[in-house]
């Protein structure tokens, strides 16, 4: 069984917490590329952005494991310009996926009744004149996250459920069932090994303390609450006319 995952701190903590045998065949890819790899190969499990399901409705989705968020610890943060009180546009940078492209407009409309223009940022560095939504590891550089607001928390508050940012999927139902059977109590495993794993990663003490304090707001083991959160997320896209019809997620 091959596992393809994006490169972020939450994936790293998940992989460091599971059995070493299950880490033997791991491939790291940009999050936006993983669903296409999964759809071509029945021997692969992929961790994909939840909105990739819109164009991959035939994939089987784990009902046991995923990455859900609902507080300040987040894979994405919004950074506002200090130069303007009006927000008319936002730049996306980092490991951008369909989630951020779709949800960035929805969040500003739902939370602030604003219609914003969204564009990808190609510059090497951030500019304080601009508004940003930054995805992934850049948020942890120089403790940028302390200046930002949690995008995941915004989404969670809109749907009143944890925000299922990533889901495990496969083209092969039997393989997904096998994957589900391998793991239980992942949240407990992450918590029990958190201090040692963070020390190995090498973040500074302030970020380590922040992650330790907020780790309870991340859900690796899924309950009905998180599954309902995924359904609510997809309904949000339907209500905002991002998709023309609702569909049933093929949970396994």
Burial 89-128 (b: 16+ CB within 10 A, else e): ebbbbbbbbbbbbbbbbbbbebeeeeebeeeebeeeeeee
What does the pLDDT look like over 208-232, one tens digit per residue?
999 999 999 999 999 999 999 999 9
Extract the tokens encoding 239.
């209500």
**Is the pLDDT confidence value at 31 over 80?**
yes
Instruction: Name the pTM for this structure.
Output: 0.94
What does the pLDDT look like over 120-176, one tens digit per residue?
998 999 998 999 999 999 999 989 999 999 999 999 999 999 999 999 999 999 999
Domain 2-69+163-251: state its class: alpha beta
Q: What is d(CA 183, CA 18) in angstroms, rounded to the nearest whole number?
A: 8
Could you give the 3-state DSSP secondary structure of residue 13?
helix
- Mean pLDDT on 29-40: 96
Q: Read off the pLDDT band of 23 (50, 70, 90).
A: low
Domain borders along the chain are: 2-69+163-251, 76-159
Least confident of 71-75, 86-90, 237-241: 86-90
Question: Average model confidence (pLDDT) for the chain?
Answer: 94
User: In the prediction, which pLDDT does 22 show?
Assistant: 66
Q: What is d(CA 132, CA 96) in angstroms, rounded to the nearest whole number?
A: 12
- Asked whether 31 and 220 are in contact (CB, 8 A), the reply is no
Decide which of 83 and 165 is more confident.
165
């Amino acid at each position: 069984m091959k596992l393809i995952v994006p490169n972020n701190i939450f994936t790293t903590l998940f992989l460091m917490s599971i059995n070493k045998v299950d880490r033997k065949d791991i491939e790291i890819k940009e999050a936006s590329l993983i669903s296409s790899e999964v759809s071509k190969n029945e021997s692969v499990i992929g961790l994909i952005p939840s909105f990739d399901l819109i164009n991959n409705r035939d994939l089987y989705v784990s009902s046991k494991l995923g990455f859900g968020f609902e507080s300040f610890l987040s894979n994405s943060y919004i950074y506002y310009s200090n130069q303007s009180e009006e927000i008319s546009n936002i730049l996306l940078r980092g490991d951008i996926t369909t989630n951020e492209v779709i949800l960035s407009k929805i969040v500003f409309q739902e939370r602030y009744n604003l219609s914003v223009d969204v564009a990808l940022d190609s510059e090497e560095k951030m500019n304080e004149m601009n508004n940003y939504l930054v995805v992934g590891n850049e948020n942890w550089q120089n403790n940028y996250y302390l200046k930002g607001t949690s995008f995941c928390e915004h989404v969670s508050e809109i749907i009143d459920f944890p925000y299922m940012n990533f889901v495990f999927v496969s083209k092969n139902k039997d393989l997904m069932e096998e994957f589900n059977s391998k793991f239980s109590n992942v949240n407990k495993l992450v918590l029990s090994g958190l201090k040692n794993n963070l020390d190995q990663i090498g973040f500074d003490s302030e970020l380590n303390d922040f992650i330790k304090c907020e780790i309870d707001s991340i859900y690796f083991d899924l309950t009905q609450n998180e599954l309902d959160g995924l359904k609510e997320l997809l309904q949000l896209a339907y209500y905002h006319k991002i998709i023309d019809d609702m569909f049933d997620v093929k949970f396994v």
